[in-house]
Amino acid sequence: MKLINGKAVAEEIKNSLKQDVLSYTQKHKRPPHLAAVLVGSKPASLAYVGNKVKSCEQVGFKSTLVKLNEDVTEAQLLAEIKKLNEDPDVDGFIVQLPLPAHIDEVKVMLAIDHKKDVDGFHPINFGRMAQGLPCYLPATPYGIVLLLERYNIQVAGAHVVVVGRSNIVGTPLSILLSRKSPLGDATVTLTHSRTKELSKITNTADIIIAAIGIPNFITEDMVRNNVVIIDVGINRVESDNQNTKAKLVGDVDFDAVAEKCSHITPVPGGVGPMTVVALLLNTFKAANKEIYG
């Protein structure tokens, strides 16, 4: 079993990007600029945005954090998005999800200028991705593809089973890996919580990508020997012991499954750092106007 070290790969990519950012900054007299909008103070969202800000500092980006109260109105949030859309100094920005229940996430997503949508969620970017056109790829799928590439995991011709059909990970990833491209050409089965006889399907997989959001969902009996497992899940499991902190676990029962795998990502330290790196790469493309000119 080989551990796929997303944290180490992310650091390698950031170190390489740092040199490109330095050249860009010298040429344009300003660094690339990534902004993030954070509504409320959920611990997971705070930690994730904090990692993004730290990574911006590492590679030489300018970063801006727009913090809004939990009770911010939808109109007020949309007004902040409009400001970022119109700010020529901001190359790309993200609105951290999830949002409070009183705010329509779809309306917010549609309000973001697709040319600054470095999370890759806007329907224009999603549609261009599906057709194989230049676009900002969704950050987590992009990070996963980079991991597979770095570890020389053969995707072309492989049977990939994606467990989870979200618009953020499962669905776009199934499209990316099935496209005719150097990092695609896989046969992809997209499964979800209502898939019948799921374990029969996962047992035929060369690569399993677990993104269903249920702790330890993929168990030993669901995988065959020498499978590659990419665990996207980040689930906080509270301890029965009041003196013990909550534990982060993935969607895969790592301890039970790992020895059957040829490669597997840990949680944390697997996909998470690569999502942030993908966001940085998209922002650098936005700064250079590589996609939309």
Are residues 38 and 46 in contact, defined by beta-carbon separation less than 8 angstroms? Answer: yes
End-to-end CA distance of the chain: 44
- Based on the residue annotation, tell me whether 76 is a catalytic residue of this protein: no
Contact 63, 57 (CB under 8 A): yes
Q: Which candidate in 52, 115, 116, 285 is catalytic?
A: 52
- Identify whether 52 is a catalytic site residue: yes
Q: Which residues contact 246 (CB under 8 A, 6 or more apart)?
A: 236, 237, 238, 239
CB 87 within 8 A of CB 34: no
Between helix 6-28 and helix 139-150 the angle, nearest 10°, is 110
96 is an active site residue: yes
Distance separating alpha carbons of residues 272 and 211, to the nearest angstrom:
12
Q: State the catalytic residue, choosing from 91, 117, 119, 231.
A: 119
Q: Which residues belong to the active site? A: 52, 96, 119
